[in-house]
Amino acid sequence: MRPGPKPLYGTAMTPAERQARYRSSLSQALPKVHYRKPTDRRSRPRRWRDAVAELPTLQGDYQMWLDALPESLMGSSTAEALRMVCDLDLSELESIEPPRGFGRD
């Protein structure tokens, strides 16, 4: 039989000692609090309309960011990406009405 790793502090703890140390650490520790992300109860069409309504606001924010860029960054990839976002035509998305789903929506 192969010998196990050498203990760090003299002799190895017995299983009972190890269990006692574990239980005492559990009793002294603060309880762990777990948070769950709340479930989104909106229907898919409602979520679509909400997302499409948010896009013009975001596009305006990106336009302000592009307008505030210094001249030295106007040729950068960041400026190009901002221009692409600002040039998107969102009117087509606003006119789309997603399908309703088998009487559940």
Dihedral sign (CA 39, 43, 45, 49): negative
Of 18, 90, 101, 87, nearest in space to 52 by CA: 90
Q: What is the pLDDT of residues 7-27, one digit of tens each?
A: 667 788 889 988 988 888 888
The pLDDT assigned to 11 comes to: 81
Question: How far apart (Å, rounded) are the C-alpha atoms in residues 26 and 39?
Answer: 32
Checking phi first, is residue 9 left (phi over 0); if not, alpha (psi -120 to 50) or beta?
beta
State the pLDDT confidence band at 50, using cuts at 50, 70 and 90.
Answer: very high
Question: How far apart (Å, rounded) are the C-alpha atoms in residues 4 and 15?
Answer: 15
Does residue 44 register a pLDDT over 90?
Answer: no
